[in-house]
A and B are shown apart, each in its own frame.
Chain A
Amino acid sequence: MRKLLLLVIVLITGVVFAGRLFYLQVYDTSFEQLSQNNAVKVLYDYPQRGYIFDRNGKLLVSNQPSYDVMVIPQEVKPLDTTEFTDLLGITKGRFDTILQKARVYSPRLPSVVIPQLTKSEYAFLSEKMYKYDGFYIQKRSLRDYQVDHSANVLGYIAEVNKRIIEDNPYYQMGELIGMQGVERQYEETLRGVKGVKYIQKDKFNRDIGPYKDGIFDTLPERGKDLRLTIDATLQRYGEQLMSKKRGGIVAIEPSSGEILALVTAPNYDPSLLVGRERSKNFTRLYYDTIARPLFDRGLQGEYPPGSPFKTLTGLIAMEEGVITENEIIRCPGAYYYGRGQRLACHHRGPSAMINGIANSCNTYFCTVYRRTIEKYATPEEGMDRWHNHLQSFGLGDYLGYDLPIGKKGLIPDGDFYDRWYPEHQWYATATISNAIGQGEILLTPIQMANFTATIANRGWYYTPHMIKGIGKKDSIPSEYTEKHVTTVSPEHFEPVVEGMHQVYTRGTASFLQIPGIDICGKTGTAENYVRIDGKRMQLTDHSIFVAFAPKDNPKIAISVFVENGYWGSRWAGRIAGLMIEKYLKGEITRKDMEEYVLNGSLEEEYAKPYSGEPFKINN
């Protein structure tokens, strides 16, 4: 025992040490990361964000340098706080809060102290930064907007928030990301890839050369430029026309699906969301819950389409064979259905398809709609057939365009009404308002522009899109070069097109004719209601218009929506005509019309329901 004691202790010690080493080196893997944090500093090299051009190569967005004051909390040494906060132009309390927040985020990763210094602030500060350990100035590149329009198309970039960092490890605190519009949709294309340098540090945090001779380092990859389908001139003109009004304009090139203009009103200057005033401006825009400037009415506004929808009712009826283009339907000034139910019509007399569209006859379209639904054994089945036809026009679902926001709209089917009427006791007449684009139907302006383009093409469309080219190449994602053909045969489109043409030559928009251009269009007026302080009230009708031109080989299809603009040709019709002329001719001959629209304001109309006073509508 005496001879063996020390030998046994030695052997046990050897085993215990081996176990401890196994635990430290093999079992517990956290030390690897700890030693990385300790000894390796990561430096990022940010590439230029790609530029954005319009369809004609006009520069819309470029970059400008910006400087952020950053901090790495664990490297901060005791400093003269008063002097430093004076330099930064913030209070001691604010400074402490920022520092505390940074420490909570991470003691070893950089956080922003003061974002986006001005050039003079930068020049002043950069000389003094050496005095403050742990603080440094990070150069970044900010957007420099060359235009004051298209904010809804371009979107904006902003600092990543915590949620984004958690979801996507590429981003680090203080970095910028596209938050809206094409900036968000094409974030990875525009942003490029940041370069990384790993630097070996010693315990005083001094750089002592590249880590592992730089084998893990990468070079930054420049962001690619983006060419949009937007026509900057047309877009700008559209925004001017929509000033002091609320609504949207969507213009599409029918032959390609390229979006020529996407206007929402009210809009804002994209430069507002750059620089140090950004958050103040953003808050102001964000909390304007009445005018809602951040709400893209062209994509997100869901409205009853009104009379333009009659073109689709007619097309489906012909495809279903419940009417021919020449069959005449008499209108006694109203459509009567059920027990004493009537739906008024503003004209009387006999109409075939062309005339029905030109005069926007309610009786005609209610009749053919009812025939379509009642063709099948049950109304559910008829409703489903009708729904499928409309779906082939891209309605009732997301269109699939390349912007990150949108709405589905609503095209009811059999199930929809079965849910409304649980006893399944409903007939075509219960849904008769659908025939004339009221009832349950909701479309977004871009869906309306798209079905107009489809009619212009006589039965097919490309998914509307914003992208025209990436970098130097013209290639665009394949989903935008895939033709969608509707369920309605091409021959049925001619009478509808002719009807829309006669809307201009002798119908509801005859006073909007533009010399030298064969425009096909359709007016619309949609009743609407709003709930303010729990009270439902009717507001002035929405003014709606869809059009395309020229009649043969169309170059532009457009939908215009003006909230509470009263009848269709009053505002929307004029705006559509001006946009078409601007795009096709480059100049305006109907100066009278232009003046009417540019000087016209609907702000009084919009203030009515909030005035607290009783008010009149549709005047």
Chain B
Amino acid sequence: MAAGKGSLRFDWLTIFFYILLVAIGWINIYSASLDENATQFFDFNQIYFKQFVWILLSVLIIVFILALESKFYERFSSVIYLVSLASLLGLFLFGKTISGATSWYAIGPASLQPSEFAKAATALALAKYLSDIQTDISVFKDQLRAFLIIILPALIIIPQPDPGSALVYAAFIFPLYREGLPYIYLLVGFFAAALFIATLGLGVIWVSLGIIAIAGILLFRKRKRKPNIFKFVFLTAISLAFVFSVNYIFNNVFEQRHRDRFNIVLGKETDAKGIGYNTNQSEIAIGSGGWTGKGWTQGTQTKGKFVPEQHTDYIFSTVGEEWGFIGSIVVIILFVGLIARLLVLAERQKNQFSRIYGYSVAAILFFHFFVNIGMVTGLFPTVGIPLPFFSYGGSGLWGFTILLFIFVRLDAANSYYGN
């Protein structure tokens, strides 16, 4: 509590985005979970009321986070990270299973999902490690350590099983890159993803032929310097091996439900009643919104509860149906605005720890936003991760609130030190 009163300068723009997103999110949860039989607002059996309580409680959390000294987060980041890992491991002993995933601790009538908090903890630990004067991210040994910090919680989360939440840790590639990770990682990652999708979409044979053709063109192109043929052949061989292994993994390691999810997005399969039902209904809900939507609590898809998990992962389909294109665009702008604002703030930090942490926050929020909206609008396969601040769930809301407000606190300290 070293900071004097009134001398902290919180970034009100970020807080403004946060308040708007949480408020709009709640309005849509209300509509998506509206029960015609509910007689009064203060009914703890109603989802929208529970979320209302979670929102009120998150105000307490915010106050608490902002009250702590900013140095606390840097100093205790390793402890927080270890506690977080322990809480994830503890699930294997004490976890409560909800819809197939052992991802919760039961605390009285409520449940806590530690993976939602682990993101913030990992971001702190990564920031701490990277900001260490002895760490050089361009060195392979340090790269390995950084990856270890990131991948450890993900490895614990995957077998819960909750692969969606684990996938989020891929977002840390962005802060790593920002801090000097060689671009080859990003390139390889992008190339691998492109080959993966191309292989599933076009088949092994066409993609292999394509790789060989491109390699040939590159090789026999006129150049001043003679290319290293050995390296070339090696890269081509690696690519081909990757393509074949993707094909093998997809057909032999993936389960049918995973295959279905990809096939539906790639347009190879349409199954509006079975596995494609979620996406199809979600698209119908959003698509039927038109320019201005059907009006709050007037969505027929929403009222009929046609979209599964509409108040959680598919909450954006309610926005699309009831508020139309205009409302959807407003939400998109709020998210893009918030993330962009965080990136600008991160770059402004004088303290390296704060910068890396802020960058991680932006990357995590972006990853959620990107995968969730992509899924709900039918652009990506179904991956069950929530839309930050919007989706129903106390743990999720608090996890994102903590993640964001630690940075708000760090940023305030930064401004303080700067003046």
Q: Which of B52-60, B73-81, B243-251, B326-334 contacts A (4 or more CB under 8 A)?
A: B326-334
Q: Kindly identify, within residues 11 to 57 of chain A, every residue whose CB is under 8 Å from any CB belonging to chain B.
A: 11, 13-14, 16-18, 20-22, 24-26, 28, 30-32, 34-36, 38-40
Q: A2 interface residue, CB < 8 Å from B?
A: yes
Q: B262 interface residue, CB < 8 Å from A?
A: no
Q: B300 interface residue, CB < 8 Å from A?
A: yes
Asked if B340 and A10 make an inter-chain contact with CB atoms under 8 angstroms apart, the answer reads yes
Asked if A25 and B300 make an inter-chain contact with CB atoms under 8 angstroms apart, the answer reads no
A617 / chain B contacts, CB cutoff of 8 Å = none
Q: Which of B13-21, B200-208, B230-238, B281-289 contacts A (4 or more CB under 8 A)?
A: B281-289
B285 / chain A contacts, CB cutoff of 8 Å = 35
The residue of chain B having its C-beta at the shortest distance from the C-beta of A33 within the complex is B288
Q: A336 interface residue, CB < 8 Å from B?
A: no
The residue of chain A having its C-beta at the shortest distance from the C-beta of B308 within the complex is A203
A32 / chain B contacts, CB cutoff of 8 Å = 287-288, 290
Query: A41 → chain B, closest Cβ, in Å?
Result: 10
| Total A residues in contact with B, Cβ cutoff 8 Å | 37
A444 to B279, CA, bound (A): 66
Q: Kindly identify, within residues 342 to 383 of chain B, every residue whose CB is under 8 Å from any CB belonging to chain A.
A: 343, 347, 359, 362-363, 366, 369-370, 373-374, 377-379
Q: B147 interface residue, CB < 8 Å from A?
A: no
Bitwise interface map of B from 155 to 182 toward A, beta carbon under 8 Å scored 1, else 0? 0000000000000000000100110100
Q: A208 interface residue, CB < 8 Å from B?
A: yes
Contact of A11 among B321, B336, B347 (CB under 8 A): B336
B306 / chain A contacts, CB cutoff of 8 Å = 38-39, 202-203
Asked if A38 and B343 make an inter-chain contact with CB atoms under 8 angstroms apart, the answer reads no
Asked if B177 and A31 make an inter-chain contact with CB atoms under 8 angstroms apart, the answer reads no
Q: A209 interface residue, CB < 8 Å from B?
A: yes
Q: B42 interface residue, CB < 8 Å from A?
A: no
Asked if A38 and B329 make an inter-chain contact with CB atoms under 8 angstroms apart, the answer reads no
Q: B304 interface residue, CB < 8 Å from A?
A: yes
A18 to B289, CA, bound (A): 14
Given A5-B174, A6-B343, A6-B362, A24-B283 contact (CB < 8 Å):
yes
The residue of chain A having its C-beta at the shortest distance from the C-beta of B326 within the complex is A25
Query: A406 → chain B, closest Cβ, in Å?
Result: 50
Q: A211 interface residue, CB < 8 Å from B?
A: yes
Asked if B287 and A28 make an inter-chain contact with CB atoms under 8 angstroms apart, the answer reads yes
Contact of B300 among A2, A22, A30, A200 (CB under 8 A): A200
Asked if A7 and B340 make an inter-chain contact with CB atoms under 8 angstroms apart, the answer reads yes
Contact of B377 among A21, A34, A40, A203 (CB under 8 A): A21
Q: B95 interface residue, CB < 8 Å from A?
A: no
B370 / chain A contacts, CB cutoff of 8 Å = 13
A452 to B60, CA, bound (A): 102
Asked if B284 and A38 make an inter-chain contact with CB atoms under 8 angstroms apart, the answer reads yes
Q: B145 interface residue, CB < 8 Å from A?
A: no
Asked if B291 and A25 make an inter-chain contact with CB atoms under 8 angstroms apart, the answer reads yes
The residue of chain B having its C-beta at the shortest distance from the C-beta of A10 within the complex is B339
Asked if A17 and B304 make an inter-chain contact with CB atoms under 8 angstroms apart, the answer reads no
Asked if B300 and A34 make an inter-chain contact with CB atoms under 8 angstroms apart, the answer reads no
A25 to B287, CA, bound (A): 4
Asked if B359 and A6 make an inter-chain contact with CB atoms under 8 angstroms apart, the answer reads yes
B174 / chain A contacts, CB cutoff of 8 Å = 5-6
Q: A590 interface residue, CB < 8 Å from B?
A: no
Asked if A40 and B300 make an inter-chain contact with CB atoms under 8 angstroms apart, the answer reads yes
B320 / chain A contacts, CB cutoff of 8 Å = 21, 24-25
Q: B303 interface residue, CB < 8 Å from A?
A: yes
B363 / chain A contacts, CB cutoff of 8 Å = 6
Contact of A31 among B288, B328, B336 (CB under 8 A): B288
A40 / chain B contacts, CB cutoff of 8 Å = 300
A211 to B294, CA, bound (A): 13
Asked if A208 and B329 make an inter-chain contact with CB atoms under 8 angstroms apart, the answer reads no
Query: A610 → chain B, closest Cβ, in Å?
Result: 60
Q: A407 interface residue, CB < 8 Å from B?
A: no
Asked if B325 and A21 make an inter-chain contact with CB atoms under 8 angstroms apart, the answer reads yes
Given A17-B373, A17-B377, A6-B178 contact (CB < 8 Å):
yes
B283 / chain A contacts, CB cutoff of 8 Å = 24, 31
Asked if B347 and A3 make an inter-chain contact with CB atoms under 8 angstroms apart, the answer reads yes
Q: B301 interface residue, CB < 8 Å from A?
A: yes
B177 / chain A contacts, CB cutoff of 8 Å = 2, 5
Bitwise interface map of B from 211 to 230 toward A, beta carbon under 8 Å scored 1, else 0? 00000000000000000000
Asked if A18 and B288 make an inter-chain contact with CB atoms under 8 angstroms apart, the answer reads no
A212 / chain B contacts, CB cutoff of 8 Å = 298
A469 to B343, CA, bound (A): 82
The residue of chain B having its C-beta at the shortest distance from the C-beta of A6 within the complex is B174
A16 to B377, CA, bound (A): 11
Given A6-B363, A31-B283, A35-B285, A200-B304 contact (CB < 8 Å):
yes
Q: B388 interface residue, CB < 8 Å from A?
A: no
The residue of chain B having its C-beta at the shortest distance from the C-beta of A28 within the complex is B287
Q: Kindly identify, within residues 271 to 286 of chain B, every residue whose CB is under 8 Å from any CB belonging to chain A.
A: 281, 283-286
A26 to B324, CA, bound (A): 9
Contact of B303 among A14, A30, A208 (CB under 8 A): A208
Given A11-B336, A11-B340, A13-B366, A25-B303 contact (CB < 8 Å):
no
Contact of A203 among B298, B304, B374 (CB under 8 A): B304
Contact of B180 among A2, A9, A18, A38 (CB under 8 A): A2
Query: B282 → chain A, closest Cβ, in Å?
Result: 10
Query: B385 → chain A, closest Cβ, in Å?
Result: 15
Asked if A17 and B332 make an inter-chain contact with CB atoms under 8 angstroms apart, the answer reads yes
The residue of chain B having its C-beta at the shortest distance from the C-beta of A20 within the complex is B377
Contact of A24 among B287, B343, B359 (CB under 8 A): B287
A36 / chain B contacts, CB cutoff of 8 Å = 288, 300
Asked if B300 and A38 make an inter-chain contact with CB atoms under 8 angstroms apart, the answer reads yes
Query: A274 → chain B, closest Cβ, in Å?
Result: 40
Asked if A39 and B303 make an inter-chain contact with CB atoms under 8 angstroms apart, the answer reads yes
Q: B96 interface residue, CB < 8 Å from A?
A: no
A35 to B288, CA, bound (A): 6
Query: B404 → chain A, closest Cβ, in Å?
Result: 16
Query: B281 → chain A, closest Cβ, in Å?
Result: 8
A149 to B285, CA, bound (A): 57
Q: A201 interface residue, CB < 8 Å from B?
A: yes
A16 to B347, CA, bound (A): 25
Given A22-B325, A26-B325, A208-B36, A14-B304 contact (CB < 8 Å):
no
A25 to B335, CA, bound (A): 20
Query: B387 → chain A, closest Cβ, in Å?
Result: 12
Given A3-B178, A39-B300, A200-B300, A21-B329 contact (CB < 8 Å):
yes
Q: B50 interface residue, CB < 8 Å from A?
A: no
Query: B362 → chain A, closest Cβ, in Å?
Result: 7
A22 / chain B contacts, CB cutoff of 8 Å = 325
Q: B261 interface residue, CB < 8 Å from A?
A: no
Contact of A18 among B332, B343, B369 (CB under 8 A): B332
Contact of A35 among B284, B339, B379 (CB under 8 A): B284
Query: A330 → chain B, closest Cβ, in Å?
Result: 91
- In order of increasing CB-CB distance, the 3 nearest A-B pairs are A31-B287, A35-B288, A39-B300
- The contact sample of 27 A-B pairs, CB cut-off 8 A, is A6-B178, A6-B363, A6-B366, A7-B340, A11-B336, A11-B340, A14-B335, A16-B379, A17-B374, A18-B329, A18-B332, A21-B320, A21-B377, A24-B378, A25-B290, A25-B291, A32-B287, A35-B300, A35-B301, A35-B321, A38-B284, A38-B306, A39-B303, A200-B303, A202-B304, A202-B306, A209-B36
Known contacts A14-B336, A17-B377, A36-B300; 18 additional CB pairs below 8 A are A2-B177, A3-B178, A6-B366, A10-B340, A16-B379, A18-B329, A21-B377, A24-B320, A25-B290, A25-B324, A31-B283, A31-B286, A35-B288, A35-B321, A38-B281, A39-B303, A209-B36, A212-B298
Show the binding face of A for B, using Cβ within 8 Å: 2-3, 5-7, 9-11, 13-14, 16-18, 20-22, 24-26, 28, 30-32, 34-36, 38-40, 200-203, 208-209, 211-212
